[in-house]
Structure 1
Amino acid sequence: MKIKELAELSGVSVRTLHHYDAIGLLTPETDAVNGYRNYSDEDISRLQQILFFRQLNFKLGQIKDILDSPYYIKREALQMQKAIILKEHARLESIVKLIDKTIKEEKGEIIMTNEEKFEGLDFSQNPYEDEAREKWGSQAVEESKQKLKKMGAKDTEQKFNSIYTELSKVRHMEVDSKEAQALIHEWYEYLNEIGEYTPKMFKELGDMYTEDERFKQNIDKFGEGLAEFMQQAMTVYYENHKK
């Protein structure tokens, strides 16, 4: 199967399939004559596994390690994926029940205690912050939080939205184009007003845009495929500025 056919079949963009090939996650055979990628049935099955893991917010590096492990057994992986999804389903189901209960209270059918209004909800931790702490350490996160506080959340959000909007306009260009890299540089400079980002940290942040579905959904609100475009453009920026 050719790359465009697989993209249409799976819903994964050609650009993403190219990226998977570049990082060694999904490497089909290449025709020596015309250079076309040819995906075998085994490659297609591997892509299915990649997408299952991606739905569970596994990072691409983690997925590669799992699939390339000599101890990897597909049937066991599927059972594990199913168990995780069922657990998440149960969590969401409990939230739906809480919403239904709250609707009944709004209609005057029942009275909820204050404790009941928050059963099953846990916002004690910020998942984005936890991930940042794991990657770059608590000190860097605390410094960024203090700078954000001084700058003002509203101004920061407006700047973020402005840069995302401008990047969305060039997302169909090549990631190494002058226009794309100029905007990515602006993004890099602004992030360094908030925190302290080395080119490597900047690249790792870009990786999170596609590896973490939460980031991807938020960024893609400004244009379909923007998160993926930014991730690749930030990788190019890193390659051009690493020491």
Structure 2
Amino acid sequence: MFHINEFKKLSGVSVRTLRYYDKIGLLKPVSKTEGGHRLYSNSELKKLQQIQFLKTIGFQLSEIKMMLESEEWDWSNSLLKQLSYVISEKERLSKIESSLRELINGIAIDGEEFRIKKIMDLYNNKDSKEVIKNNRDEFNLKNIEVLGKLPKMASSDPDSLEWIALVGQLKKYMHLSYSNTRIQNIIKRMDVKIGEDFNDEEEFLDKLWDIRMSSEESRKYSLYPIDKGVLNFMEKAYIHYLGNKT
């Protein structure tokens, strides 16, 4: 027999939880001492391990009680239902993860001027895959593939994060002249990235820039809303860079 305090150490479950399990009839002690302390055996320890496992995979205590008490319980059906629930939760948490990444990356671009409304507007817009599908007539197949390479606010891939960081740095130093060395170094890295990621896609990128310069078109294609002032500054800095590129 195990005293409740010994049972606690063996199982890793608190005394308070064990008392609660006793109260709801989920795990009864085999007996009690004269002083009223609960006593458990190896059978209760095995049952507690089953309870903890079923909790881990998402079952409620009320369900677990019925599952362990009934000899005719349909385990296959219960597990299939739980699997369906877990898959649904996984999808829900994945959407939350994407929203959190968008918020974090939005702050990286906008800094103290970040507004959650931007992300909410982006979140409430059509899914990017659906947007591409609905506007397929405006892009040939090759350009649709290129569109998929654009930096994504919810992504953690190195290319997207570098683009986000570059735009954030550009905005941070906008108080400097667009011809300033620091600004031109940022633009230079952007130009290198364009060559790495979108080689030989100049015509498409020109069209994409026109979309980016329009707030309405940017929303249409689920592009993160960058302030028009930042885009104008970037354009001037890039033109200056090209004029001095050797």
TM-score higher than 0.5: no
Sort the TM-score into its range (normalised by shorter chain). 0.3 to 0.5
Normalization by structure 1: what TM-score? 0.36
Normalization by structure 2: what TM-score? 0.35
Computing the radius of gyration from Cα coordinates, the structure with the larger value is 2
